[in-house]
Every structure is written in C-alpha cells, then in structure tokens.
Structure 1
Amino acid sequence: MKDLLVIGGGVGGLVTASVAGQLGLDVALVEREPRLGGDCLHYGCVPSKTLIRSAQVAQLMRRGGEFGLPSYSPQVDLGAVSDRVRAVIDTIQAHDDPERFRGYGVDVLFGEARFVNPREVQVKGERIAARRFVIATGSRPVAPPVPGLAEAGYLTNEDVFALRELPRRLAVVGAGPVGMELAQAFQRLGSQVTVVELAAEVMPKEEPAFAAELRAILAREGVRFRLGARLDRVERDRDGVTLQLRQGEEHLPLTVDRILVAAGRAPNVEALDLNTANVRFDRRGIGVDARLRTSEPHIYACGDVTGLYPFTHMAEYQAGIVIANAVFRVPKRADYRVVPWVTYTDPELARVGLAASEALERYDDARVLEFPFAEVDRALAEAEPHGRLQLTTCRGRILGATILGAHGGELLHEIVLAMQAGVKLGSLSAAIHAYPTLAQIHRRAANTLYAEQLFSARTRRLVRWMHRLLP
C-alpha cells in the first residue's frame, strides 16, 4: 500500500509528489498524458506567454517611429513563431522529466486512473491502494453548445499554439483573460481578429472601467468586438466559416477563416469515477474544505479541479496546504485573502484583493486612490503611458489594487507583499523608490491621500502660525 497516491502531473501534483517523495514516503504519481507538466506547460501559461512575447516584438517593430527609429511591418511566419513556442516548452519540460521525480523516490505511472473504491485506484488494469490520495487533474476548455460549431471545427488553447498558418480572419469566442490575450496576440501577428462575447462588456470579473479601457486599447490596434452578441449557429461554406450572431433583433453574420473558443473550462473528473470513491463534485469541480479535503477526508484535491482560483500559482499554493495536512499531518487552512492574478495583454491588467466597488460596498470609510502612468517619468521614457494604478484602502490598511499598465503583473507584487505582511499605506509611501522606475507609481498613488491632508486649509493655517511664533 502506498503512503500517498497523486493523480495528475501538473503543477499541483508535481509539487505534492516531489516533496512527499523526498521526505521518504512511498509515493505514486499517475498522469494520463505521456508526459508531465500539465496544461500550464503544454497548453496554457508557457506557450501563451511565449506567443504573446513574439506578438509584442512584432508590434514594437511597427512602433519604431515612436522611438526615433524606422518603422517596419514584419511578414510573420507563424510556423517559425510556433517553433519558438515549442522550443521554450521543451526547455522547461526538462525540469519535469519523469526520471527526475523517480530520483526523488516517486513511482511515476502513465495512464488513466479510476477509483474502484475509496482506497484503491486502477491504472491500466493494475489496482493500487493508498492511505491518502491527492486529485490534481486540472481542467480543460469547453465549447458552448452551438449548432454547427463542432462540425465547422474550432481551435482551443490545446491546439492553437501548434498552428503553422496564420488565419487571415479569426473569431475569438469569449472575452475573458484567455480570449483577450490571444485576440491581441493574433491581431499583432497579422490576423484580423473579431471578439464575440455574450456579455455587454469584456473581462466581466474585472472592474468595468478598467475592462473598458483595455478594450479601447485593443480596438485601437484593430481588434473588432461584437459584444452582447448571441451565437445562434455556425455554418461552413466556400468562403470560410460563418458565425450567425444576433444582437437583440438584429442579425449580424460574421465570416472568418478560423474560430478560437475561449469561453470557459470544466474540471477533469469524468474518468475518475468519483462516485465510487464517495467524493462529492459538481460541474464546477470537486468540493473541498479549507484544508483541501474532499468529502472523503483521506482524499485531497488541489488546483483547477477544485474550481477555486484557476491559476497555476494557486495550484502550487494549494499543494503546499495539502502537503501540510496530508504529509506533515499538521492542520493548515488555505487563506485566499491575498490572491493575485494577471491578464497578460499589453498593457497587462493585474489585480489583488478587493476592487474599488467591493471595498466601497464593504467599508463606509474606504478610500480609492489612483495615479496614471502618464504621469510616471519611466512610463513616458518607454512610450508606455497607458493605464493607471488603483489602490483601495481603509484606515491606512491596503485592501487591494488593480493595475492596468506595462509590466503590471511585475508591479503588483509590491502590493501583494505589503498586504501579506500587513504593511500600512504610510510605510508604502515612506519607502524610497528608485528613480526612474515604474514602481514609483505605488508611492505616487499612496501620496495622493496624504497630499489632501498636507495641503488642507487646516495644515496651511498651522504652518503660518508656527512661522509667526517660532524663531
């Protein structure tokens, strides 16, 4: 009997298995794909950010005139870009070599795992028993049930990065983070991209003003938007693929060459036979408590399969909670008060903690502080004046932040650390920030609060009184 059996070879599963194996437990890791690394490495974070970077360089070539240099419109070979994406994946894949984990004492098995009872799984006909289990099977893209869509054919994040030919016309169905990132990237690489979204605005989980500002930036680059549009059906003909859209009573057909679906994800639970294991789940994922235990206390789950915060960094964080509980047997609860996430458009949209609308609704004395990148010298020097920082505070405590700007994801972590460590707004304001850096925006935003107090009528009267009375 194994001490621990981990199902899923993505970030959550790899972290859990490697730590448990190095601590001397008898560990098995089961992955259904013939390689480790999971969705993030092969279909998500790594390939998308690599593609996005190539698209940024192409856009910088076109912007040469803004920097006193020649402007150049590159003829993009998507096959060469895809080769670079593949090379980056292969380089990182070396860290996820099965032999590395076997060296940690982990028994790495490839195949589909299925529970035969709450204490055993079956893999390729072999039954394996364990004292404790960790389910880290991740999630997958799903397509809306639109008539004709499957027959017409569509791309998802699982195959779009293997494209060799650039679509002349591309429809992106879904205006969430993945849809927005890839819409901008393919527009910059040379496609004419149209984003189709049922909601009235893009990025529905973000503050509306920031989402609208980001949409306007992409629109200026040529991305077209069909918002509030219902996709009734899809038809293929000799001219391409036509999406039959409806906005209210208006019928608006859209003909493209390829369709990219980025309209949501589903947990990978079907093959596990969780009912046999008495593990409760629904369409969102496997239910877990604060210690990441399922309805069967000896079975844990982490990462996308739980439906909680579908980010790679959260899978890694949750794996740490599982290790504390399942390996060290120390009761530790997950804390989701300071969870950062980033949409890797250009500029990036980064967020942590409470947004302005949430803070104002929750606290009567909450304050919202803002500062634009257009007034940060480094942003001007780099010709990146777009966006702003928004800080939410209450009585000197930082409640959250939203950043729309160049390198917003990198800049966010000063706020993340401040919130995690309980650093007050005054300390953020007092910290010396090197000049000229984009990070100065943190101090400038914080100082907008103190400027009101410093230059108030009361303070002005006090200063005049002091100068009259004191030598």
Structure 2
Amino acid sequence: MTRLKTDILVIGAGSGGLSVAAGAVQMGADVVLLEGHKMGGDCLNYGCVPSKALIASGKVAHAQAHAAQYGVADVAPKVDYAAAKDHVQDVIAQIEPVDSQERFEGLGVKVIREYGRFLSPTEVQAGETVITARRIVIATGSSPLVPPIPGLDTVPYETNETLFELREQPEHLLIVGGGPIGLEMAQAHRRLGSKVTVIEGAKALGKDDPELAAIVLDRLRAEGIEIAEEALAQEVRGAAGAIEIETKDGRIFKGTHLLMAVGRKSNTERLDLEAAGIETTKTGIKVDAALKTSNRRVYAIGDVAGGLQFTHVAGYHAGIIIRSALFGLPAKVRTDHIPYATYTDPELAQVGLSEAEARAAHGDALEVARFEYHHNDRAIAERKTTGLIKVMVVKGRPVGASIAGAQAGELINLWALVIANKLKMKHVANMVAPYPTIGEINKRAAGAYFSPRLFENAMVKRVVGAVQRWLP
C-alpha cells in the first residue's frame, strides 16, 4: 500500500473537481485528484456537451425542412443518425484535451485513476494508495435517477449515460420525464426524424414560469411531439422495439425505445462517508453556506452537495473553495444570481426569482416589466418572433428575470450580471445596444419599466411644458 500526503485532495474529475484542482495547483498547493471513471465527468461525456451537439444536428435538419419562409426551397433532410452521433463524439473529442489526465499532470496535479473511499476523517483510499490531506473536496457529481417502476427491470431503456452511444435511430422514442433533459432530447430526436412521446407525471417544465413554459411546450407540440402531462408511469412492459408504458390513469403509450429522464441522484454510495463523519440529506451531502460538510476538513461541491445541479454551479462552487481552502478567507455561497437555461428551440432561461416567487416574497412592491420578441427588429428579420421576457423589479432593482425565446440562454447573462452586482434597472437602460440585435430585448425590457414613469406621468409633462415655455 502506497501512502501520500497532500494539501488538497479532490475526489471526482468533473467540472467542479477539475476547476478546484487546476486553480489550487497553479496557486502553489500540492494537489491529488481521483477519478475512477472518465475525466471530464458527466458534463463532457454524457450531459451538456453531447446533448448540445445533438441539438445542433436537429436544428440543421429542421432548418432544411423550414427554409421557404426565407426564400429558400424546403427540402426533406436526409438524416444519418449514426453520423449525427459521430458529430457528437467529435465534439467531445475536441474538448477532451482540456479535461485530460495529461493536461492536469502537466499542471502538476497527481492524478490517480481510481475511485476514492474514506478510511477516516483525513484519509482516503484509492486503489492501492492511501492519501492523507489537509483539505478534501468531494466533487463526485450525480447520476441518472431511475425510479423503481414495475417492469422496468425487464425492459431495455436508455439514460443520458447511454443515449449518446445509441447508433440505431429510434422509430418512436418514449421519454419518461418532462424536464429540461427530457424535452431537449425530445425535440432533437423529433427533428432528426423520430416519433416522440413525452410522459410526465406532473407538469412539463413544472419548475419554470408557466407562462413562459407554455411558449416552449406549444412549439414542441407544433413540431409533432406528444407531451402527456399528469401521466404518472405505473408499469413498463414489452421488449426491445415494442415497449409499452401504462400510466396511473390507465393510458397506454407504445414505442420502440425508452429514455428515462426523471431526475438525478447524488453519487455518494462509493465514498463510505460514515468513516469520515460526514452527514447526508435526501438530496446529497449536507453542507453549510461555505460548502463545508459536518467534517470541517471536507468540502462538497456541485451536484453531490444536493443543491442546484448545473455545471456552472459546480464551477462557481470551485471558486468558493479556492478562496476558503487556499487562502483561509471567508466565502459563502449565494444562489440568487445563478442563471440556468433549457436549450430547446425556443430556449427558456431564468435567474433569480420567478414572477410567482417574487410576488410571494415582495407582494405589492413588485413590478413586472415585460417585452415581447415580436417588437424586436432582429427577431422579425430572422422570423424568430415567438418569445417573451419578464423582469421582476422591486424599488428599481431586478430580483429575477425569465425569458422564453431565441437566444434566451445568452440574454439571461446580462440579468445574472445585474443581480450578482446588485445593479438597478437604470443601469440597463443606460446601456447602448447595437442595432439590430436580439440583445436589444434586454434594454427594451428596461424601457418598459421606465415608460409609464416618463410618458404617463402628469408631473413630467407639466415640467417639460414649463421648461419649454422658459427656454428661449
């Protein structure tokens, strides 16, 4: 058995763990990184990267079939599903070197390709190596949650960890779960030529603003995707190529392939957390505002910490750890400025409070500024006029923004900046946006907030009138 001592031990080489390891070693810390599976974790191999690559293939196919509105003849796209998956793998391969073992060893990190498990509050075993560390960061991520639906154990199904290896195009894809993963893959596969049925036990996109979710769901249904809501899967039966799902209310859905997309579970089972005195919750490892576990030498970040499960959150957590573990400075997590997006077409994005949350928190003090895409000249030029932005404002300061429409995931960046830095609507109104851009939508939302104050205010009109009479 080999023994090592280090300043920082990182368990898990996903986005959060890699960010901690790279930052810590470049600032002078001795770092050991453990990874028992693939470098880059879920995001690179099974999540953000491959899903967006497949969505891109679907967009190209959809554009070919809907080109007439631009004066270009529609053509029926000839989709090679296996070649689309080759595109996905090529995208992964281009990004892989940034997350590779070779790169991190080049930075000075000792990389051990084994899973880690705690032996004590300060010791972790990885294969034939025992590491003692001053600080330990658990960044083991999450995995697909597969509920115990009767019959599911006898029927072949995909998750996000297997879907991108599938080479045979599904004739009719059944998707259990109407959240972001399920609906992104539903639209991508529909555009690539598969029939798609989404089966959701409650409301599709149920965590998002219902008015904006409806914009997205209407488009998906218009493209031919069947979305069954309040359809709780009760039984799965059949075999490869002939799968049936029966819901609690007796509805039966038939398809050739099945994708389970009902959520995620934190990866804690290999860690032997009890040996380190680390407490857990129903959603993951229990952490405080500084991301410390009940063992004060150990941090947990990203999905395994049981909060918001997004790659960019794991990266944000890594910055908190660098500040705290390396410099001993106080650092606490906040979530009010964390944006997220669903990459359907149109996209759906959110930061801060939704309208319902803001109304519950602020009551009559809340004002909602709205602006619709069909008033934006660039959206008109590109025939992407379906969309809406809503900005929740309290005493001139945005507390949330919700967007459904083209490039919503890009537009939300500005509001994340505004909320993170506690800026006001006047700062957005003062911005000059190039014309014509989709980005003008943000400025026009600020204009919608100020318009009643300027153009419907009797006092303003009296002042202007007086000034005009006084001026020579």
- TM-score normalised according to structure 1 size: 0.96
1:60 is aligned, of 57, 60, 63, to 63
- The aligned counterpart of 1:112 is 115
- The aligned counterpart of 1:259 is 258
- The aligned counterpart of 1:216 is 218
Letter in 1 for 2:369: L
- The aligned counterpart of 1:411 is 411
1 CA distance for matches of 2:266 and 2:75? 44
Percent sequence identity is 42
> Is the Cα–Cα contact under 8 Å of residues 241 and 257 in structure 2 kept in the other structure?
no
- The aligned counterpart of 1:26 is 30
> Is the Cα–Cα contact under 8 Å of residues 142 and 303 in structure 2 kept in the other structure?
yes
Q: What is the SS of the residue equivalent to 1:19?
A: helix
Greater shift, 326-335 or 308-317, is seen at 326-335
- The aligned counterpart of 1:456 is 456
Q: Are residue 144 (structure 1) and residue 143 (structure 2) matched? A: no
Q: Are residue 438 (structure 1) and residue 438 (structure 2) matched? A: yes
Q: What is the SS of the residue equivalent to 2:248?
A: strand
Letter in 1 for 2:227: F
- The aligned counterpart of 1:428 is 428
Measure how far apart 1:283 and its partner are.
2.8
Letter in 1 for 2:217: R
- The aligned counterpart of 1:330 is 329
Measure how far apart 1:335 and its partner are.
2.1
2 CA distance for matches of 1:470 and 1:22? 63
Paired residues, what number? 466
Identify if the C-alpha distance between structure 1 residues 325 and 232 changes in structure 2 by more than 3 Å, giving closer, same or farther.
same
Measure how far apart 1:453 and its partner are.
2.2
2 CA distance for matches of 1:320 and 1:174? 32
- The aligned counterpart of 1:356 is 355
- The aligned counterpart of 1:131 is 134
- The aligned counterpart of 2:87 is 84
2 CA distance for matches of 1:261 and 1:300? 31
1 CA distance for matches of 2:457 and 2:333? 47
Q: Are residue 372 (structure 1) and residue 372 (structure 2) matched? A: yes
Q: What is the SS of the residue equivalent to 2:348?
A: strand
Q: What is the SS of the residue equivalent to 1:281?
A: coil
2:236 is aligned, of 225, 234, 241, to 234
1 CA distance for matches of 2:61 and 2:304? 36
Measure how far apart 1:442 and its partner are.
1.3
1 CA distance for matches of 2:239 and 2:279? 45
2 CA distance for matches of 1:100 and 1:256? 44
Q: Are residue 100 (structure 1) and residue 103 (structure 2) matched? A: yes
- The aligned counterpart of 1:346 is 345
Letter in 2 for 1:327: L
> Is the Cα–Cα contact under 8 Å of residues 239 and 255 in structure 1 kept in the other structure?
no
Measure how far apart 1:436 and its partner are.
0.4
Q: What is the SS of the residue equivalent to 1:272?
A: coil
2 CA distance for matches of 1:103 and 1:348? 38
- The aligned counterpart of 1:69 is 72
Q: What is the SS of the residue equivalent to 1:79?
A: helix
Measure how far apart 1:205 and its partner are.
1.1
Measure how far apart 1:470 and its partner are.
5.2
Measure how far apart 1:468 and its partner are.
5.0
Q: What is the SS of the residue equivalent to 2:119?
A: strand
2 CA distance for matches of 1:177 and 1:229? 17
1:50 is aligned, of 40, 50, 53, to 53
Identify if the C-alpha distance between structure 1 residues 331 and 468 changes in structure 2 by more than 3 Å, giving closer, same or farther.
closer
- TM-score normalised according to structure 2 size: 0.96
- The aligned counterpart of 1:16 is 20
Q: What is the SS of the residue equivalent to 2:400?
A: strand
2 CA distance for matches of 1:55 and 1:290? 40
Letter in 2 for 1:307: G
1 CA distance for matches of 2:302 and 2:456? 50
Q: Deviation string for 1:369-410 (max 9, x for gaps)?
A: 111101100001011011111111111111111111111111
Measure how far apart 1:239 and its partner are.
6.5
Letter in 2 for 1:420: A
RMSD over equivalenced CA pairs, Å:
1.5
> Is the Cα–Cα contact under 8 Å of residues 39 and 101 in structure 2 kept in the other structure?
yes
Letter in 2 for 1:168: E
2 CA distance for matches of 1:116 and 1:239? 46
Measure how far apart 1:354 and its partner are.
1.1
Greater shift, 22-31 or 155-164, is seen at 22-31
1 CA distance for matches of 2:79 and 2:132? 52
2 CA distance for matches of 1:322 and 1:383? 45
Greater shift, 11-20 or 269-278, is seen at 11-20
Measure how far apart 1:467 and its partner are.
4.3
Greater shift, 230-239 or 22-31, is seen at 230-239
Q: Runs of 4 or more off by more than 6 Å in structure 1?
A: none
- The aligned counterpart of 2:447 is 447
> Is the Cα–Cα contact under 8 Å of residues 267 and 283 in structure 1 kept in the other structure?
no
Q: Deviation string for 1:289-342 (max 9, x for gaps)?
A: 111110000011111100111111110110111111112221211122201001
Q: Are residue 397 (structure 1) and residue 397 (structure 2) matched? A: yes
1 CA distance for matches of 2:52 and 2:125? 36
Letter in 2 for 1:310: Q
> Is the Cα–Cα contact under 8 Å of residues 213 and 404 in structure 2 kept in the other structure?
no
Letter in 2 for 1:353: G
1 CA distance for matches of 2:331 and 2:370? 36
1 CA distance for matches of 2:27 and 2:343? 37
